[in-house]
Amino acid sequence: MMEVDVAIVGAGAAGLAAAVALRAAGQSTILLEAAATPGGRARTTTPAALGGAWLDEGAAWLHMAEHNPLVPMAQAAGQPLRAAFRSESLMFLGDRPATAAEHAEYDAADTAWTGIVMGRPAEPDTDLATAIGPFRHENPWAPTIEAWHASLIDAVDAPYLSLADFRLNQLDGQNLMGERGFGRLLRDLLEADAGPIRGLCPVSRIAWGGDRVRVETPQGAISAASVIVTVSTGVLGAGAIAFDPPLPSATEAAIADLPMGLLSKIVLRAAGEDRLGMTTPTHAFRRLERLGDPFLSFIAWPRGTDHVIGFVGGDAAWAVAPDPRAALDLARREWRAMFGARADAMFRPEGFTTDWGTDPHHLGAYSYARPGGAGARSALAAPIAEGRLLFAGEACRTDGMAGTVGGAVLDGRRAAALVIARKDPSHH
């Protein structure tokens, strides 16, 4: 049986960062990855339907650039970063563009909404929809603002989301992007120093009762002094990995309090030269008239490409997740609602949609905390069996970077530091 100091389950941002830190400290590691390639939810592909253009299927933006560990790494590696698309904003009310006065009303309502949500007492933790109070039903912009902040950014509808968790993970600060996609950037920065990675190697069972941990895979078992598990809380909650003995009840409860939200990207490609008069990358969306209706927001012609990327999140994303055709239809209907019949002729019949919700290696986009569950992130991060078993990844962050790649990198390093300190108590 193969023996290593540390087995790392999952070669996404957290797993790669943990491996790099452990190897720099002289530990032997192996990364066990269910997919064929590393990167996890940071994945840059060139879908056939997009005619050669690349797409970040998952993460695209380096959020909170001021605190994001990947920003100095990219700079040191000479990898150019640029400000996120500077795009025109085109809001529709029904089938007509909003006036300047309506844009101003929307901005004012957003400020008022934020004031209400941020001004609520923190205890007891409630759900975000309750926290909004009467404004939610009285203000004509409230459905759009709620869909934007909860369903799209946090990938979950407001009634399911912890207010405390929402407030903590506001992602303030600058957003940057790589020139060739976030998935490629992550691999460029971390893969070379991450040591051996075994792909197509899903871990099925972790026996952590003894002095050493036994990690089972279809490619054989591995014996490790410690194991760091970085799979999503969706994968953990589905029971894809059996733990023997079962996980402590506090860990089980933390996983249950951190379900996965869903954000899907639905991409349509122009059939001809018509760009609907948009000469620069444009951010187009319609005001949402009723709470609970699906909300879509599009980035049209990013980087001068001939495609539009639609974003849909929360329940609306789960509703179309099993059926790419339904997702594409949803996006087409939205363009028709904005631009009428002209939009029908705009796009090619084929398109592309992401499938994070049904992909068994992820089962969602990123974690959110249920109301009352804001403590779950630190509970999941707590070392088990004197640090022989550790969880790490975006779901464990309590510094406001949960749900992000930068947060996952920091968390992989956190777990690595715990392992290093355990092996060498003088290392603190």
Ligand X SMILES: Cc1cc2nc3c(=O)[nH]c(=O)nc-3n(C[C@H](O)[C@H](O)[C@H](O)COP(=O)(O)OP(=O)(O)OC[C@H]3O[C@@H](n4cnc5c(N)ncnc54)[C@H](O)[C@@H]3O)c2cc1C
Q: Quick one: which of 166, 347, 356, 368 contacts ligand X (CB under 6 A)?
A: 356
Q: Give CA–CA dist 428/273, Å, rounded.
A: 61
Identified binder of ligand X from the candidate list 10, 181, 294, 351, rule CB under 6 A: 10
CA distance 182 to 69: 14
Q: How many CA atoms lie within 13 A of 379 on its CB side?
A: 18
Cβ contact 378:215 at 8 Å: no
Task: Map residue 425 onto helix, strand or coil.
Answer: helix
Q: Choose between 362 and 388: whose C-beta lies nearer to ligand X.
A: 362
Residue 2 Cα to chain centre, angstroms: 33
| Least distance CB 100 / ligand X (angstroms) | 29
Cα–Cα distance between 284 and 194 in angstroms, integer?
40
The binder of ligand X chosen from 61, 106, 141, 368 (CB under 6 A): 61
What is the x/- site pattern for ligand X, positions 181-210, by CB under 6 A?
---------------------xx-------
Strand duo 197-198 + 307-313: pairing: unpaired
SS3 sequence of 240-302: CCEEECCCCHHHHHHHHCCCEECEEEEEEEECCCCCCCCCCCEEEEECCCCCCCCCEEEEECH
Minimum CB separation of residue 36 from ligand X in Å reads 9
Between residues 194 and 231, which has the closer beta carbon with respect to ligand X? 231
Here's the x/- map for ligand X, 257-276, by CB under 6 A: it reads as ------x-x-----------
Query: Strand pairing of 197-198 and 29-32?
Result: parallel
Q: Is 35 in the site for ligand X (CB under 6 A)?
A: yes
The single residue among 40, 47, 261, 375 that binds ligand X, judged by CB under 6 A, is: 40
**Residue 371 binding ligand X, by CB under 6 A:** no
The residues near 107 (Cβ < 8 Å, ≥ 6 apart) are none
Please state whether 130 falls in left (phi above 0), alpha (psi between -120 and 50) or beta.
alpha
Stretch that binds ligand X, among 9-17, 100-108, 146-154, 275-283 (CB under 6 A): 9-17
Segment near ligand X (CB under 6 A); pick from 219-227, 325-333, 361-369, 383-391: 361-369
Minimum distance, C-beta of residue 112 to ligand X, in the bound complex (Å): 27
242 vs 244: CA distance, rounded Å:
7
Residue partners of 50: CB distance under 8 A and separation at least 6: 267, 269, 305, 307, 352
Interaction between residue 74 and ligand X (CB under 6 A)? no
- Mask 308-337, x = binds ligand X (CB under 6 A)? ------------------------------
Residue 320 CB, nearest approach to ligand X (Å): 14
Site for ligand X in 213-252 (CB under 6 A): 230-232, 235, 240-241
Which residue in 23, 136, 361, 377 binds ligand X (CB under 6 A)?
Answer: 361
CA–CA distances in Å: residue 55 to residues 202, 262, 281, 348: 26, 18, 15, 17
Closest separation in Å from C-beta 12 to ligand X = 2
Decide if residue 376 touches ligand X (CB under 6 A). Answer: no
What residues from 386 to 415 belong to the interface with ligand X (CB under 6 A)? 393-394, 403-406, 408
Binding site residues, ligand X, CB under 6 A:
9-15, 32-35, 40-42, 58-61, 63, 202-203, 230-232, 235, 240-241, 263, 265, 354, 356, 361-362, 365-366, 393-394, 403-406, 408
